[in-house]
């Protein structure tokens, strides 16, 4: 599923940065950038937007007033406020905002807001289609750009995930793919599908773990077909428990 998003901010550099970050997000398929709140009203009344990311302090019609108008639409978009001021938070949630993001925008904070929007939109779409929300899969695959080509990596093919700054490396049996995305976002979407944090910088697919091994210094490694994954003391107990549960269901080494 790809979100169609409207970004509204009267300050051009701020709007450009927000638009750039939204377009880089895997959940977002299309971003329309508008610097005039009145023009934003016309765009939103035309329909088709899943979410609106709004600045609050704008001339003529501020973000709170704009959100109030949107709430009267037959199918209002999810509203996220993006602002430099924290004193409007109570009012923002009072008009039904999904989230409230402070400037300067951090990648992980925007990712958390998009995750909330995505869950809300999925639930609404599932309800409209008569589908139980729990059966809707938010991110079963990721697009990978390399050398001017786009390929797609399915979640079930990923053995483990390694954090590399603003990127993650997806380790499959034969290849490693790099995607610009915080690991916390993948953890949020894929945790219910068997991906567990084994270390501060690693997520491992429980279904891919063949065994736990000891390394040369007494640490623990989770062995997969794509290589060994470090397991920290902090996460070792939970990982062992989750592996036992998966083994009892016959899900290991699939």
- Show the domains of the chain with their CATH numbers: 3-134 (3.40.50.2300), 141-248 (2.40.50.1020)
User: In this predicted structure, what is the pLDDT of residue 127?
Assistant: 73
This prediction has a pTM of 0.62
Secondary structure, 3-state, the chain: CCEEEEEECCCHHHHHHHHHHHHHCCCEEEEEEECCHHHHHHHHHCCCCCEEEECCCCCCCCHHHHHHHHCCCCCCCEEEEEECCCCCHHHHHHCCCCEEEECCCCHHHHHHHHHHHHHHHHHHHHHHHCCCHHHCCCCCEEEEEECCEEEEEEHHHCCEEEEECCEEEEECCCCEEEEECCHHHHHHHHHHHCEEEEECCEEEEHHHCCEEEECCCCCEEEEECCEEEEECHHHHHHHHHHHHHHHHCCCCCC
The model's pLDDT over 111-158, given as tens digits with 9 standing for 90+, comes to 888 988 988 888 777 777 666 555 556 678 887 877 777 788 899 999
Q: What mean pLDDT, rounded, does the chain reach?
A: 86
The model's pLDDT over 148-195, given as tens digits with 9 standing for 90+, comes to 777 888 999 999 999 998 889 999 999 999 988 888 888 888 988 899
Say yes or no to pLDDT of 216 above 70. yes
Say yes or no to pLDDT of 8 above 90. yes
User: In this predicted structure, what is the pLDDT of residue 9?
Assistant: 93
User: In this predicted structure, what is the pLDDT of residue 250?
Assistant: 74
Q: Does 57 or 87 have the greater pLDDT score? A: 57
The model's pLDDT over 25-55, given as tens digits with 9 standing for 90+, comes to 888 989 999 998 888 888 887 878 999 999 9
């Amino acid at each position: 599923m790809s979100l169609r998003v409207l970004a509204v901010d009267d300050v051009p550099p701020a709007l450009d940065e927000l638009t750039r970050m939204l377009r880089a997000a895997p959940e977002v398929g299309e971003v329309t950038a508008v610097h005039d709140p009145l023009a934003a009203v016309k765009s939103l009344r035309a329909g088709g937007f899943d979410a609106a990311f709004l600045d609050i302090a704008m001339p003529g019609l501020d973000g709170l007033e704009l959100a109030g108008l949107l709430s009267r639409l037959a199918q209002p978009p999810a509203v996220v406020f993006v602002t430099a001021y924290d004193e409007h938070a109570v009012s923002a949630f009072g008009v039904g905002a999904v989230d409230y993001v402070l400037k300067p925008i951090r990648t992980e904070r925007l990712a958390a807001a998009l995750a909330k929007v995505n869950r809300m939109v999925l639930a609404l779409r599932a309800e409209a289609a008569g589908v139980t929300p729990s059966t809707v899969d938010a991110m079963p695959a990721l697009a990978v750009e390399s050398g001017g080509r786009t390929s797609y990596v399915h979640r079930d093919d990923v053995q483990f995930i390694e954090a590399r700054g603003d990127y993650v490396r997806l380790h499959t049996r034969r290849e490693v793919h790099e995607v610009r995305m915080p690991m916390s976002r993948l953890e949020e979407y894929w945790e219910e599908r068997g991906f567990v944090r084994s270390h501060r910088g690693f997520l491992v697919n429980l279904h891919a773990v063949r065994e736990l091994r000891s390394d040369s210094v007494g640490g623990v490694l989770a062995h997969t077909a794509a290589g060994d994954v470090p397991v920290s003391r902090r996460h070792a107990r939970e990982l062992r428990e989750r592996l036992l549960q998966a083994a009892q269901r016959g899900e290991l080494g699939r």
